[in-house]
Chains A and B, each alone.
Chain A
Amino acid sequence: MIRFDNVTKVYPTQSGPALESLTMEVERGEFLFLVGPSGSGKSTFLRLVLKEERPTSGRIRVAGKDLHRLSNWKVPHLRRRIGTVFQDFRLLPNKTVFENVAFALQVIGKPRRQIARDVPAVLDLVGLDGKQDRMPDQLSGGEQQRVAVARAFVNRPLILLADEPTGNLDPATSVGIMKLLDRINRTGTTVVMATHDQSIVDQMRKRVIQLEDGRLVRDQSRGVYGYTR
């Protein structure tokens, strides 16, 4: 589903590479934790998958597409097959829960009928049924992140990328979000989650890839967090 072949990314303003000769593969339906200290290359990895950045060298394949060959105007179509969740939720404050999720379908031109059908279904899936008319600031942090997950998942992407989705949440709420991501993973969606949250990684026992200074230092199935900050 995601395949990196000897990928190096150097940002022009930085001295060392953000990623160095990274080779790895994520299979369809896998759940992968990406761990490592700040600046180890986790976010760069996610941005490369989304083709927000181009690798300095090496090849990347995502959902069967060679990103190097993918022309710019086709990038939006790639992103429709990838859902993304962030630490800071990134909801639109002037839209209701329903509108926030519907927005993701509206702007890719989905018909109203499909929006009316899919949005309530995904809100139900993330456990927000009955709250669809709330504004984001009327929700708790965990609920806001559920809205963000619903928005990322409403178009049924092949891949869900999560960049520290529990970073702003307390441990109990984080567990709820992890259960949700696990449920999404069980529908066949590949999940890649970058995180600092040791207890979550240790609990979930999923595949763990550890990066340090842009290099892959550990790739372990059913792994643990494995280092202390």
Chain B
Amino acid sequence: MRFQYVFSEIANGLRRNLTMTVAVVITVSISIALFGTGLLIRAQSEATKGYWYDKVEISVFMCNAYSVGANCAGGEVTDVERDTVRETLEAHPEVSEVFHETQEEAYERFTEPLDDPVAEVITPDQLQEAFRVALVDPDEYDGVVSAVAGLPGVQNVHDQREVLGPLFRLLSGFQVGAIVVAVIQVIAAALLIANTIRLAAFNRRRETGIMRLVGASNFYIQLPFILEAAIAGLIGSILGCVAVFALHEVAVSRLLAPNFTFTAWVDRGDVWMMVPWLLLTGVIISAFASFITLRRYLRV
């Protein structure tokens, strides 16, 4: 293998097809940037879930003297009913911890923020005692809710996860959107690469014809073309990664994170984790597209 020949061929090829090479680089960079954005949203989604799910719990509110509802027909919750609920929760495999909150504790928590005029008129017996339940897997709340919802003395069961639902749906919607556009772009990039390589193969048909004739191996004939596409793909992917870093810097680090401090945000380390995958995707797609093209246009 004579590398000097291979590399001079690559340099020539990239130069001769400059406009097409630029088109390939741009298309690959856009598709990689979108793909990276999809991954970024996914990472953000995971970070948000991780942050919030640690705090998510199920609240089981017990009946008080004023409660209405089928399970509260007996008025305020009795000791027996309370114990049954506690035992049911503690025996459930998806439950990791159970805290009991009395009416007085609820009142303290309620009146904690000062200057709340409502706190002046409320009394502990108007509030509900409750069990705060932490789950082993926050996604598996259904079983726990249905296990206690129907028990006597339980006024209602409140799942905080329902509050976060729309946020996660929004995030996954963005993620799907970014990935779909990225896939369309990748297809466009692959077609563009195929065309560029076909043009390059046509430009060099005299050389490749002689190479075939004197018995150069297919690998040797195709290598410069494949490397040419891979290099264009690599440059495009690097630009795409730069775009993802820029997006992260502007959208997350400068805009979102300082203003919404109550939740977790993806950091630059998460973006670095994506870089190898983005580069690999860009290079492999380019090399593969050119390989497939060459199989058709540079046959033995």
Contacts and interface: CB of A to CB of B under 8 A. Distances in A.
A binds B: yes
Interface of A: 50-51, 72-73, 75-84, 90, 92, 103-104, 106-109, 151-152, 155
A145 to B, nearest CB: 15
B1 A76 contact: no
A51 B211 CA distance: 15
B210 interface: yes
B300 A107 contact: no
- Interface of chain B, main secondary structure: helix
A86 to B, nearest CB: 9
Given A106-B2, A107-B5, A109-B1, A79 B213 contact: yes
Residue among B1, B5, B211, B215 with most chain A CB within 10 A: B215
B210 A103 contact: yes
B48 interface: no
Given A73-B218, A79-B215, A80-B214, 14 more contacts: A76-B218, A77-B215, A79-B213, A83-B214, A90-B206, A92-B207, A106-B5, A107-B221, A108-B214, A108-B216, A109-B1, A109-B220, A151-B210, A155-B214
17 contacts: A50-B213, A73-B217, A73-B218, A76-B212, A76-B217, A79-B213, A80-B214, A90-B206, A90-B210, A92-B207, A106-B2, A107-B211, A107-B214, A107-B220, A107-B221, A108-B214, A108-B220
A184 B206 CA distance: 26
Contact of B212 (A72, A79, A92): A79
B218 A107 contact: no
Nearest to A93: B206
B300 A104 contact: no
B276 interface: no
B209 interface: yes
Contact of A92 (B2, B210, B215, B216): B210
A76 B210 contact: no
A80 B210 contact: no
A84 B210 CA distance: 10
A13 to B, nearest CB: 17
Contacts of A109: 1-2, 220
Nearest to B211: A107
Q: Which 3 A-B pairs have the closest CB atoms?
A: A80-B215, A79-B215, A107-B216
Interface string B70-114: 000000000000000000000000000000000000000000000
Given A72-B300, A75-B300, A92-B207, A104 B214 contact: yes
A76 B211 CA distance: 9
Interface in B20-62: none
Contacts of B216: 76, 107-108
Contact of B215 (A78, A90, A106, A151): A78
Nearest to A148: B210
Contact of A79 (B2, B207, B214, B220): B214
Contacts of B214: 79-80, 83, 103-104, 107-108, 151-152, 155
B181 to A, nearest CB: 40
Nearest to A110: B2
Contacts of B213: 50, 79, 84, 90
A107 B213 CA distance: 11
A225 to B, nearest CB: 28
Contacts of A82: 215
A151 B211 CA distance: 11
A78 B217 CA distance: 11
Contacts of A108: 214-217, 220
Nearest to A81: B215
A112 to B, nearest CB: 8
Contacts of A90: 206, 209-210, 213
A84 B214 CA distance: 8
Interface in B99-153: none
Contacts of A72: 300
Nearest to A107: B216
B1 A104 contact: no
Contacts of B206: 90, 92
A117 to B, nearest CB: 16
